[in-house]
A and B are shown apart, each in its own frame.
Chain A
Amino acid sequence: MSVVVDGLTKDFGAFRAVDDVSFGVPSGQVTGFVGVNGSGKTTTMRVMLGLLAPTAGSTTFDGRTYSDLPHPRRSVGAVVDRIGAHPGHSARRHLTMVATSAGLSLGRVDAALDEVGLLDVADRPIGRYSMGMTQRCALAVALLGEPETLILDEPANGLDPAGIRWLRDRMRAWADEGRAVMVSSHQLAELAVVVDRLVVLRDGGVVFVGSVDALQSGPGSLEDAVFDLLVDDSSVPVATPTQNSTPAVTS
């Protein structure tokens, strides 16, 4: 499944949070979505998922908007900025409720909890989880429908070093299985070792879309290259669809 974001714009009153953003998320690759805090990453992802209405532009998943997908959770798994569970509910109950609301098999609940390593504590209230455990629970929700596309907003927040390594390995594995993986982060070093492509946002607009190799052509690290983009966009040319074959990405 390929994801195409085309001319996405989101205004909150007079403030433009996302400004004419276009990029693609191809299958079989991990696409990093980076930018400083407040650059519009979370807003873009929420608009892509239909949680916020766009002011202009569209996001399609194999040609359909999220709301037009016949089984959204089976097509797209998402980690958004809030886990969306009552703190008194256990992870098992939370996943059961999500599976029920999405028409998924309840047999997937324990499988997803097992995949993120929470099966042993599945009946503990989420309010008593550490931040890392809460993030794993959010990932379990994203994996419930065995989706072809994963959209993950800051999934490494709160994970310990072992958890971050685990997440990197899982993202690589998901992409190698043919899934389209989009992951946002403002921790560049963490992303550098796993992403194939990057979308860099600055002040709500895209300042780079393309492969890691295209960005890291100089002697510095990927982190240095992205940092240069974020502080001075005149040093690196803004990527255009002709440079990156986006937004019309094909898998």
Chain B
Amino acid sequence: MSRGVRVDALNAISTPTAWILLAASMVMAAGSLTANLLAFEVDELTARATLQQAMHASTVATLTFSLVAGLVSATSDYRFGRIDQLLLSEPSHRAVVAAKALVGAGVGVIYGLFGGIVAVAVLRVFYSVRDVPVDLTSTVVIEPLVGAVLASALFGMIGIGMGTAIRNQPAAVAGGLAMLLVVQPPMLIGLPEVGRWLPGAAGLSMTFNPDDALLGALQGGCVLVAWTALAVIAGWRRLVALGAG
């Protein structure tokens, strides 16, 4: 499986789409953070709730793009027939999916780290321009960033699992975005007892989001790990059942 991880990692860094998505995620994270901060008056900027809200807006962008990167990576293997070559080299479907999931997690970590770097840079510049002091080492900044790195890794793996199961790229990306951005937010508001257990809400929980409707960070992490396992197993079983197509 180590060979599979190496070749999938090589594929990820040598494909323009991965870099374009990473750049887009950083732009979106910076944009979300800035837009949120701009909504507050100067005297509100020192409030803990202000920083929390702004930080969580940026983590949503990171998690979303991490999921999309996984979806695009997995479905590109079918689109270009790369899955054939992977299986001809490593006939074990389980090893192929496991290698891809590990690389998806690695890509997610990179998205999380770069999103964090962008968030810290934006905060530093924004508060400096407004001449307002900010402690970038406070838990209100660090916790969401650390949580986002971990959640982003899991979202990358979910993207790989979903993409391997769905195969069709437009359907997988549209389905993933709809699940995360259209279906789950209203469920979290209207039916929180169900919505908080869904992957999007579990991911937000991991970033120490203080929303009362969400689970705690650790509980949310466990729920997201379960969703990740489900997605990866679904992808693996679908590959076993249908083959490379």
Is the beta-carbon distance between A89 and B14 smaller than 8 angstroms?
yes
Q: How many residues of A contact B (CB 8 A)?
A: 31
The interface residues of chain B lying within 8 Å CB-to-CB of A251 are none
Is the beta-carbon distance between A50 and B80 smaller than 8 angstroms?
no
Is the beta-carbon distance between A102 and B81 smaller than 8 angstroms?
no
Count of A-B contacts with CB under 8 A? 83
Give bound CA distance, A69 to B87, whole Å: 13
Is the beta-carbon distance between A72 and B88 smaller than 8 angstroms?
yes
Q: Chain B interface: which of A78-86, A168-176, A222-230?
A: A78-86
The interface residues of chain B lying within 8 Å CB-to-CB of A52 are 242-245
Is the beta-carbon distance between B91 and A84 smaller than 8 angstroms?
no
Which chain A residues numbered 79 to 116 have a C-beta less than 8 Å away from chain B?
A: 80-89, 93, 96-98, 100-103
Tell me if A214 is interfacial: C-beta within 8 Å of chain B: no
Given A73-B89, A97-B11, A98-B89, the answer on whether A85 and B244 have CB atoms closer than 8 Å is no
Is the beta-carbon distance between A72 and B82 smaller than 8 angstroms?
no
Instruction: Fill in one digit per residue for B82-112: 1 if any A CB lies within 8 Å of its CB, else 0.
Output: 1111111111100000000000000000000
The interface residues of chain B lying within 8 Å CB-to-CB of A51 are 84, 87-88, 243-244
The interface residues of chain A lying within 8 Å CB-to-CB of B88 are 49, 51, 72-73, 78, 80, 102
The interface residues of chain A lying within 8 Å CB-to-CB of B80 are 82, 84-87
Tell me if A23 is interfacial: C-beta within 8 Å of chain B: no
Give bound CA distance, A67 to B80, whole Å: 22
B210 to chain A, nearest CB (A): 43
Tell me if A34 is interfacial: C-beta within 8 Å of chain B: no
Instruction: Fill in one digit per residue for B1-44: 1 if any A CB lies within 8 Å of its CB, else 0.
Output: 00110110011001110000000000000000000000000000
Instruction: Fill in one digit per residue for A53-67: 1 if any B CB lies within 8 Å of its CB, else 0.
Output: 100000000000011
Tell me if B241 is interfacial: C-beta within 8 Å of chain A: yes
Is the beta-carbon distance between A46 and B7 smaller than 8 angstroms?
no
Tell me if B50 is interfacial: C-beta within 8 Å of chain A: no
Tell me if A180 is interfacial: C-beta within 8 Å of chain B: no
Give bound CA distance, A197 to B167, whole Å: 38
Given A83-B81, A84-B82, A97-B7, the answer on whether A72 and B89 have CB atoms closer than 8 Å is yes
* CB < 8 Å neighbour of B84 from A80, A102, A103: A80
Give bound CA distance, A39 to B83, whole Å: 24
Tell me if B168 is interfacial: C-beta within 8 Å of chain A: no
Give bound CA distance, A53 to B243, whole Å: 6
Tell me if B240 is interfacial: C-beta within 8 Å of chain A: yes
Q: Which residue of B lies closest to A65 (CB)?
A: B91
Given A52-B244, A85-B80, the answer on whether A100 and B10 have CB atoms closer than 8 Å is yes
The interface residues of chain B lying within 8 Å CB-to-CB of A86 are 11, 14-15, 76, 80, 82
Is the beta-carbon distance between A84 and B76 smaller than 8 angstroms?
no
Tell me if A141 is interfacial: C-beta within 8 Å of chain B: yes
- Where the two chains meet, the residues of A that have a C-beta atom closer than 8 Å to any C-beta of B are 46, 49-53, 66-67, 69, 72-73, 78, 80-89, 93, 96-98, 100-103, 141
- Where the two chains meet, the residues of B that have a C-beta atom closer than 8 Å to any C-beta of A are 3-4, 6-7, 10-11, 14-16, 76, 80-92, 240-245
User: Would you list the 6 A-B pairs with minimal beta carbon distance, nearest first?
Assistant: A82-B81, A67-B91, A52-B243, A101-B89, A84-B85, A102-B89
A-B residue pairs in contact (CB < 8 Å), sample of 20: A49-B88, A50-B91, A50-B243, A52-B242, A52-B243, A73-B88, A82-B81, A82-B84, A84-B81, A85-B82, A86-B11, A86-B76, A86-B82, A97-B7, A97-B10, A97-B11, A97-B85, A100-B7, A101-B3, A101-B7
